[in-house]
Amino acid sequence: MLRHYFVSDDLDDLEVLETELEKAGVSTPQIHVLSAADAEVARYRLHEVQSFMTKDVVHLTTLGAGIGLCVFVLIISLVYLSGWTETVGWTPFVFLAIVLLGFCAWEGGLIGIHKPNHQFRRFEKALSDGKHVFFVDLAPHQEAVLEKVLKAHPKVQRSGTGSAVPHWVITLQEKLGTVRHT
């Protein structure tokens, strides 16, 4: 799947665009609107980005866990090579390595709470200018639908592409019915 980004200052037009995409077979979990004016967006029938996802928690927690895994391997390797396990045993060192792995992941998440999502940083200027970011995650067979629908929306500016959520996440959201419009 590929994520397509668009910028617009017209929420009415974005609402129509989302409705047309849904009628053409693009499911609601594939469509999102990111805005600095959440209260204004809430008045429309638009699928907003969850506030949790506007932060970089997931990305930096994963990065912290990767660093923690490296620390884990380093500790276990040093202990093995030094021969300390012959006198003390493995238990305290494995416990230390696990605690440090968890700490690194936790610290990454804490840092991520205070940082904007790395995928949205390029839109900070547009958002601060009062514009809204509309993005849609599409499977290759849905690309033509997007092109057809976009022809009726000249105010919507293309702003590039990026990585999308895995297809199974969207399928799960559809099955669970976790997406609701207010």
Do 46 and 136 have their domain in common? Answer: yes
pTM exceeds 0.85 for this model: no
In a domain, 125, yes or no: no
Q: Kindly state whether residues 158 and 170 are assigned to the same domain.
A: yes
Q: Are residues 19 and 35 in the same domain?
A: yes
Contact predicate 5/21, CB 8 Å? no
Q: Cα 134 vs. chain centroid, distance in angstroms?
A: 14
Domain shared by 45 and 66, yes or no: no
Per-residue tens of pLDDT for the chain, all 182 residues: 999 999 999 999 999 999 999 999 998 899 999 998 888 888 988 888 887 788 999 999 999 999 999 999 999 999 999 999 998 999 999 999 999 999 999 999 999 999 999 989 899 999 999 999 999 999 999 999 999 999 999 989 999 998 888 888 888 887 887 654 44
Residue 109 shares a structural domain with residue 140? no
List the structure tokens of 26: 């693009």
| 182 in any annotated domain | no
134 with 49, same domain: the answer is: yes
Domain limit, last residue, from 113, 145, 160? 113
In a domain, 123, yes or no: no
Structural domain count of the chain? 2
Structural domain span for residue 70: 57-113
CATH code, domain with 149: 3.30.70
Q: What is the DSSP string of 104-150?
A: HHHHHHHHHHTSB-TTTGGGHHHHHTT-EEEEEEE-GGGHHHHHHHH
In a domain, 122, yes or no: no
